[in-house]
Structures are given as structure tokens and as C-alpha cells.
Chains A and B, each alone.
Chain A
């Protein structure tokens, strides 16, 4: 699709989510690449290289879609990864992975969350997303096997290895759950109402928890989620930190973030 001015789609919500998906895939690929020869075993390193290619490939099929939107007209630089200055990936990906457990947690939690979205878009009313979603979901089956296999291995290794995995999962947990947006998120809500995805954000989050919690429970890794017997759905156990949610970039401000002027105002909770 070339996206002539006359044929451009005017849908800010879809544009925003596509940009977030592309940026997260691109950022994951860049982080994965760093571990393509740093994994704990040769086989894992080769798999990391293959997954790097997949993630960057997914990003490269998503960025060109942005050109077809009226929203791209305001700043054409933002539709290509080479010129894009906005980075709408999770804050967790701002920094290098601290260890292999960050790689595993990102693959298991974040990539799994994005796959939950693509699964919900396999019958999308927006054909380019529908086509890409089906292919990505297919390719992600291997990533999921890699993620689950490594979560099992690190968890069963015990000691510091297991501790590192749990720490990585905990650091990524809330931001990943937030990526779907608040239950009344106008962006994901509009995608659902327009038929671009088949579920609203709360349902996506619940589907996602259904994917990840059984494995973690089986490994006795406790994450803050609970099963609601009435709705038969998994839900976050505690309120998510929406006060740090940045709706435009679909990410959380780091907990230590200080709004401009806050320090000068002498916030009480500063040490």
C-alpha cells in the first residue's frame, strides 16, 4: 500500500497501536541481537539470532502501514524506523538487558502480550493487519516454545538463577499488563468497536493472563494475579499503576520519574 493522500485512513487509535507494536518489536529485536552470541549455550544463541531476525522482520512489516494513515502527514519522518524519533516501546526496553533472564522474561511476558493482541486481530476488519497478524501468530509459536522452555529451565535451576528470573518477571510484569490499556482505554476500545480486534482491553489482559499464569503457577512462581470464579477469568490481583501510564506512548513512566518542577516544589515523598 502506498498511501496516497486521497486514500489515507484517518484513524488515530489504530495508528497509535500500530506504532506501538512496531516500536516494541523493533526494540525487542535490538535487545535480542545483543544476546545472539551471549546466550548460555550455543543452541540458545542461534535461536536468539533467529528470534532477532523475526522481531525486526515483524517491525519492518508494520512500519510501512503507518504511511497509509492521515496521522502520518503531520510528521512523515515518524513512519520509518530509520528516521523515527518517537519511541513508543515499553520503558523496560530503554535499557540493555541486565542478563539472560531479562531476555527470557521479555520473550515470555512482553512478546507474549503482543501475540495476544495479534491473535485478537486475526479477523481484523483492517486487512493489512489481519494478514500480518496471522503470519506473526504462526511465527510466534516457536518464540513461545523458546520462552516457556527457558522459564522452566531457569525456574528449576533454583538458587540465584531462579531468583534472577523472578526478578526479571517482576520488573516487566506491571508494564506489560498495562500495555493493553485501562479497562476504559479509548484507543483499544475504539479498535474493538471498529472490528479491528475481537476483544476490549480487559478481555485481552485476561486472555493474556490465561496464557502465562498456568506455567508460572506450575513452577511455584507467584505473580500478582487471581482467578475470579464468577467470571472464570484471570485478573490482576492489585490495581495497576495507571498514575504512571503514558497513553500516547503506551508505556509506564519509571517509578523514580520526577515530573518537571516536582523537585523544586518539594514533594513530601522524596527522600
Chain B
């Protein structure tokens, strides 16, 4: 099995390398920034509650990630809320 590589094209341990035609390392070029809060519930009579978060710039990938990471229960509902859409009413 490979260890976690910072370069999406390189075998394990190769590390980041400069992309052709760009100064940005490949890992940086792929770095995702958008955080999605994951809410789910197991029963109809319970409210949605936050079970974690995923990071993905692409909403479809965020769906895939949430489904595969938080698969510990047979949820009846799971939704994603982008962190940058949350309106703070009372700050901690």
C-alpha cells in the first residue's frame, strides 16, 4: 500500500514536485479550501445533527466524500452546508 503522498501523480514518498509550466507545486494546485459541514439523522423523529465535515471545492466530490467517510450508520438523511454560507448570530 502507498503511504499518503503529497503529489497526486507521484508514487509514495516522491513528495511534491513543480508542475510543468507553473511554479505551483502540484499538491498546491489541487489543494481544496471549501469546508462543508455534514449533518445527518438516523430516525424520522430526531433532528439533523452535525456529524463532521469534509473539504472539497467540488460539490459532487463533497457528496461522495461525505457518503464514504460518514457511513457508520444507515442514515435516513444527510445534508451538506458550506461553511462560507453560515451566518453567525452570536459569536463565541
Contacts and interface: CB of A to CB of B under 8 A. Distances in A.
B64 A142 contact: yes
Interface in A110-167: 142, 145-146, 148-150, 152-154, 157-161, 163-164
B60 A40 contact: no
Contacts of B47: none
A164 B58 contact: no
A152 B30 CA distance: 11
A212 interface: no
A49 B2 CA distance: 12
Interface stretch (A1-9, A31-39, A76-84, A246-254): A31-39
Nearest to A49: B68
What's the dominant secondary structure at chain B's contact region?
A: loop
Contacts of A35: 2
Interface in B1-27: 1-12, 18-22, 24, 26-27
Given A159-B24, A160-B21, A149 B64 contact: yes
Interface in B22-64: 22, 24, 26-27, 29-30, 32, 54-58, 60-61, 63-64
B8 A163 contact: no
Given A159-B19, A159-B22, A47 B68 contact: yes
B34 to A, nearest CB: 12
Nearest to B28: A157
Contacts of B67: 142
Interface footprint category on B:
35 or more
B5 A38 contact: yes
A152 B12 CA distance: 24
B2 A160 contact: no
A93 interface: no
B58 A152 contact: yes
A44 interface: yes
B76 interface: no
B4 A45 contact: yes
A145 B29 contact: no
B9 A46 contact: no
B26 A161 contact: yes
B9 A41 contact: no
Contact of A160 (B3, B5, B9, B63): B9
Interface in B75-92: none
A41 B55 contact: yes
B2 A37 contact: yes
21 contacts: A33-B1, A35-B2, A37-B1, A38-B5, A40-B5, A40-B7, A43-B69, A44-B65, A45-B4, A47-B68, A49-B68, A51-B68, A145-B61, A153-B30, A158-B21, A159-B19, A159-B22, A159-B24, A160-B22, A161-B30, A164-B9
Interface of A: 33-47, 49-51, 98-101, 142, 145-146, 148-150, 152-154, 157-161, 163-164
